[in-house]
Chain A
Amino acid sequence: NAGVTQTPKFRVLKTGQSMTLLCAQDMNHEYMYWYRQDPGMGLRLIHYSVGEGTTAKGEVPDGYNVSRLKKQNFLLGLESAAPSQTSVYFCASSTDRNYNSPLHFGNGTRLTVT
């Protein structure tokens, strides 16, 4: 019962470095999402995917790129990290995008950019 798995759990970057966060789900969900969580702001959607090979921008997409080459995986990339990208990142998945579909979350990745 792995559900949604995120790697790594923690990461420290220097300004300007790049990195990729990996999200994998074993629930055969079509829809996957990347959120960031900042104090006092809840979770905000970065990018999402409605299926293999497709991606779309969310509320705060600047500075991030994503790819969904396989249905079960959704990658989040930072090409040139900035201190403003220090945050906790959550991946999530859902069976569909209907308004009654809950999201299933991974355990998060804490990223610090110095």
Chain B
Amino acid sequence: AQKITQTQPGMFVQEKEAVTLDCTYDTSDPSYGLFWYKQPSSGEMIFLIYQGSYDQQNATEGRYSLNFQKARKSANLVISASQLGDSAMYFCAMREGGGNNDMRFGAGTRLTVKP
């Protein structure tokens, strides 16, 4: 069964600095996708970035990048030049290619950006 682990319940970062949010996953399926979502205090779920298991390069979207280490089964989210508006819950999620391809989520990391 697939499993997503986010070991950091809470993280703090100084404004304008970079921060890494950890995510490890477990799957035996060679085809899978990894996703990060942001949930601000207003509650909506915002899709940030995607990485496929066959992608050779790390995904990037603006200030977000995904540090994908396939052998270690980790998919850490890196936010560069943190802004106060980055304060939110962040969820790592995965979908497998075969069988049960429901999107499964980690428990989340609450990021607080300090001025």
Chain A interface (Cβ < 8 Å from any Cβ of B): 33, 40-45, 48, 58-59, 88, 90, 92, 97-108, 110
Cross-chain pairs A/B with CB under 8 angstroms, 11 sampled: A33-B103, A42-B105, A42-B108, A45-B103, A45-B104, A48-B102, A58-B102, A97-B101, A99-B53, A106-B44, A107-B43
A98 touches B97 (CB 8 A): yes
Residue of A nearest to B32 (CB): A99
Say which residue of A42, A101, A108 sits within 8 Å of B44 (CB atoms): A108
- Residue from B32, B43, B106, B107 within 8 A of A108 (CB atoms): B43
Given contacts A45-B102, A98-B97, A101-B95, whether A40 and B47 have CB atoms under 8 Å apart is: no
Contacts A100-B50, A103-B45 known; list 14 others, CB within 8 Å: A42-B4, A42-B106, A43-B91, A43-B105, A45-B102, A48-B102, A58-B102, A97-B95, A98-B101, A99-B53, A99-B97, A100-B95, A103-B103, A110-B43
- In the assembly, what is the distance between CA of A41 and CA of B102, in Å? 16
The 7 A-B residue pairs with the shortest CB-CB distance, nearest first, are: A42-B105, A105-B45, A99-B33, A99-B97, A99-B95, A43-B105, A102-B47
Chain A interface main SS type: loop
Considering the complex, give the chain A residue whose CB is closest to the CB of B96. A99
Chain B neighbourhood of A103, CB < 8 A: 45, 47, 103
Q: Which of these, B35, B42, B105, contacts A102 with CB under 8 Å? A: B35
CB-based nearest A residue for B36: A102
Most B C-beta atoms less than 10 A away, residue of A41, A90, A100, A107: A100
Q: Within 8 Å CB of B93, what residues of A?
A: 43
Cα–Cα, bound, A48→B102 (Å)? 9
What chain A residues lie within 8 Å of B44 (beta carbons)?
A: 105-108
B69 interface residue per 8 A CB criterion:
no
Interface centre among B45, B101, B107 (most CB of A within 10 A): B45
A30: min CB distance to chain B, Å:
14
Q: Which residues of A contact B107 (CB under 8 A)?
A: 40-42
Question: In whole angstroms, how far apart are the Cα atoms of A107 and B40 in the complex?
Answer: 11
Residues of A within 8 A of B14 (CB): none
In the complex, chain B residues 24-64 whose Cβ is within 8 Å of any chain A Cβ: 31-33, 35, 37, 42-45, 47, 50, 52-53
